[in-house]
Amino acid sequence: MDEKYGFFKALKDLFKYSKENKNKYIIGTIFMIIFVITSMIYTTMNSKLIANIMSLNLDKAIKLVIICALLRIFSITFCHNQYRRIVIKTGEEISATIQKKIYGKLLNLSMASFENMKSGTIFTTIKAADSGMMATISQLLQESAYIATSVAMLFVIYFIDWKIGLGVTAISTISLLLFKIQLNKSKKYLKDEFEYTDNYSTLVNETNRGFKEIKALDLKEKCFNIFEKDIENLKNTRTTRRLLGKNVNTSKWTIRIIGDAIILLYIIEQLKISVMNIETAMLVITYMTNIVDDVFHRIIEHDFGISEFTANMRRISSLLEDNELEKEKFGTKEYNNIKGNIEFKNITFAYSNDVILKDISFEIKAQKKNALVGMSGSGKTTIFKLLLKQYDNYNGQILIDGHNIKDFSEKSIRNAISVVNQEPMLFNMSIKENLLMVKPDATEEQLQQACKLASIHEFIETLPHKYDEILLENNNNISVGQKQRIAIAWAILKDTPIILFDEVTSALDKESKKNIEETINKISKTKTVIVIAHTLDSIENFDNIVCLKDGVIVEEGSHNDLINEKGMYYNLINI
């Protein structure tokens, strides 16, 4: 992202990502302009009112009071309120639109791009587009309308007395230059703040996922030290940036006070020699105060808001415009009525420089039970990832029913294959709502039938709220085996012809393991089942077993065939 990324580029990007809402903001701005114009007229009338009161011209003063009141009612109760209603509603819509774009891009990233991103970066980027950012921009747009009025007031002052106009311009210009210096320095500090925020957000996410391991491995002190370091860095950086603003503000206010005093002394002198009357003097003083106040309070005092908005938009734009973040790649062909025959033909694959699969070829027949066996790192899980199209930068072909999976549309590949992982991720919602995620139109009977087939229905019926039982954020109120069986019910409801089981029995007790094995046996009567197996006694009745070592297929066949060969499988059985 360009290092010179500034406020106006941020504003341009904001409306680029929310084109559908731009016209609403324009309507709101029109109301704001009307409000500011009437406010300027009110300011002029109010200065005349004060001058007439001081001159004891009370009849005229009474008329001016009525005019000022009507102007104020119209500008505030109608124009300003209309503006606020429009920008608040539109601001929330823009915020939601941008957040949906970010999350949508996240969901469509390739696995390689996703794995290279910090979880903290993802969270803080979505958070950057929250309604607080839109409140800032709404406020800044409102202040812009006031500033436009101040420019008009400055022209009036120049028309009355160019020397006073020059003085007001000098005060405003010096203050804005100091503000620009402050803003440029703030950018670097904000960039560092985001980095430290990413770091501790990532650590908090990791703590949430690995809380048991942190306790068991006595990592509390280590984790706390890492967190403390990031928080201290964030605190120091944020403090430095804010103190920088305070130091610059001291200089700005000193210049303003001295400048105001010089201009007021000049006006008094003009009144003494009758070059300027009281009404004109009051108008000039009122306009001058408004102009300088606008510079200080409507621009300078919003320095943090401007810096933060610019930094947030830069962050959002960096993610949305990052061409190095690859999207998932799918074909365009729709395939229905898949039977579940799979063929790997001369597949070679490497994650980076390490070759994981080395020219492997094998076939899997539809509606059969198949197992992948081998030591850790032999390539079993990689085969699943390739089948699920998490990676497609391999050499060779993967065919389903004779069709290259690179040609499959996203819908076709997802309707063909389901996966049950060793420790599935379930959502923080009820069991029923979790099941409906994969089949929203499922009936109660279908849900229960899927859970019975997955051998989890009886357990669910023992829960206080049965299918309406809420699963905790980390699913701590159910066991790993129960999570796996709910995930199997997911796969059954999705009704794909191919189901992958990733080491689902390796960490289970004997009873849970038996339940899962029975479920797999039931499913395999109508589905193609592929299991990554570490516990080899669970696959003795499988139709085909593929043995891998260092990315190469060493042997394959049924349990009895492989035992008779007395090769790798035989040795693993007898370890």
pLDDT of residue 5: 73
What backbone torsions phi and psi does residue 335 show, to the nearest 5 degrees? -120, 125
pLDDT at 205: 75
Quote the pLDDT of residue 25.
72
Q: State the average pLDDT over residues 467-477.
A: 77
pLDDT at 296: 59
Burial class (CB in 10 A: 0-12, 13-18, 19+), 433: middle
Averaged confidence pLDDT in the chain: 82
Asked whether the predicted pLDDT for residue 231 surpasses 90, the reply is no
d(CA 253, CA 422): 64
Those residues whose C-beta lies under 8 Å from the C-beta of residue 345, and which sit 6 or more positions away, are: 361, 396, 397, 398, 399
pLDDT(7) > 80: no
pLDDT above 70: residue 253: yes
Question: Is pLDDT at 509 greater than 80 in this prediction?
Answer: no
Q: Where residue 372 falls among pLDDT bands split at 50, 70, 90?
A: very high
Helices (H), 273-302: 278-293
Say yes or no to pLDDT of 3 above 60: no
pTM more than 0.75: no
Does 445 have pLDDT greater than 90?
A: yes
pLDDT at 359: 93
Predicted confidence (pLDDT) at residue 295 exceeds the cutoff of 70: no
Residue 141 has pLDDT above 70, yes or no: no
- Quick check: 79 pLDDT over 90? no
Let me know the angle formed at the C-alpha of 480 by 476 and 483, rounded to the nearest 5 degrees.
85
Span 142-168, average pLDDT: 81
pLDDT over 60 (residue 211): yes
Give the alpha-carbon dihedral of 198, 203, 205, 206, to 10 degrees: 140
Asked if the model's pLDDT at residue 497 lies above 90, the reply is: yes
Q: Which pLDDT belongs to residue 404?
A: 94
